[in-house]
Amino acid sequence: MKILFFGDVYGKPGREAVIKSLPRLMRQTKPDFLIANIENISHGKGPLPEHAQEFLDLGFDALTTGNHAWDQKPFQPILSSATRIIRPANYPDHPQFKVPGRGSTVIDSIRTPGLRLGVIQVLGRVFMPPVDCPFKTIDREIEKLEKCGIESFLVDFHAEASSEKQSLGYYMAGRVSAVLGTHCHVQTADERILKEGTAYITDVGMCGVVDSVIGNKKENSVERFLTGRPVKFEPAEGVGGVNAVVLEVDPRSGKAISIKRIREEFSEEVRE
């Protein structure tokens, strides 16, 4: 089976870039499952319900988020009821404060009946908000999904540090079909199949304005570093592009067969 996964979609330029590229990439890759990370899909500050629904209506089977899942208050009730939108599983629950949403889900292919995929997301702890251990959390989530008879698992590891991402990749080697890094918005060139049959990449990258600093206006970022002042980030305007990966997985064993990076830039400017 094939899986097409888009990296962090950033603002309107990212949404428009995905929409522009999707018909052709669907024809070229013929995926059984279509997934995207949408934590920055609305103005670069979390998801709004209408933008999440837009992607579901486009045919996305599952949507992952990240540490910005909480930035848009109207989205939180959606998390509580959605079955195809997940947030990091390792946000700690408390008897007084229930975390909305789910950290994993099982999706059935709408394109190839009979194919099923478990999707899990965990958040890193290095340079990130204080959360439960992603390694122990993913053990728990896999055990839960295995009881549903799932053989193939895709993990979105939303983390900052490449060392933490690589460590989780090796920890999961042979136990999941793929560990895909998100959050950094810069695509890495280290895609590979670990010897135990797990596809891995440190960061899938970003869908958004190419001439930017991780999706934001580059001038603001440069000023912030030069002056040390908390200059506000603003979504960049300009030419959009997409970063994605396409995976091939043996559905009988859950082992990855191949992983290929996709990096495209378009000529039309999209404004936020």
Please give the positions annotated as active site. Answer: 68
Cα separation, 168 vs 126, in Å, equals 13
The angle at the Cα of 2, spanning 124 to 85, to the nearest 5 degrees, equals 45
Element (H, E) at 165: helix 162-172
Phi and psi, residue 73, nearest 5°: -60, -40
- At 8, phi and psi to the nearest 5? -40, 115
Letter for the amino acid at 162? S
Residue 161 to residue 148: CA distance in whole angstroms: 32
Q: Which residue has the tokens 């009821």?
A: 81
Reference 58, options 19, 24, 105; nearest CA is 19
Q: Burial letters for 180-195: b for 16+ Cβ neighbours within 10 Å, e otherwise? A: bbbbbbebbeebebbe
Exposure b/e, 58-69, CB count within 10 A at least 16 = b:
eebbbbbbbbbb
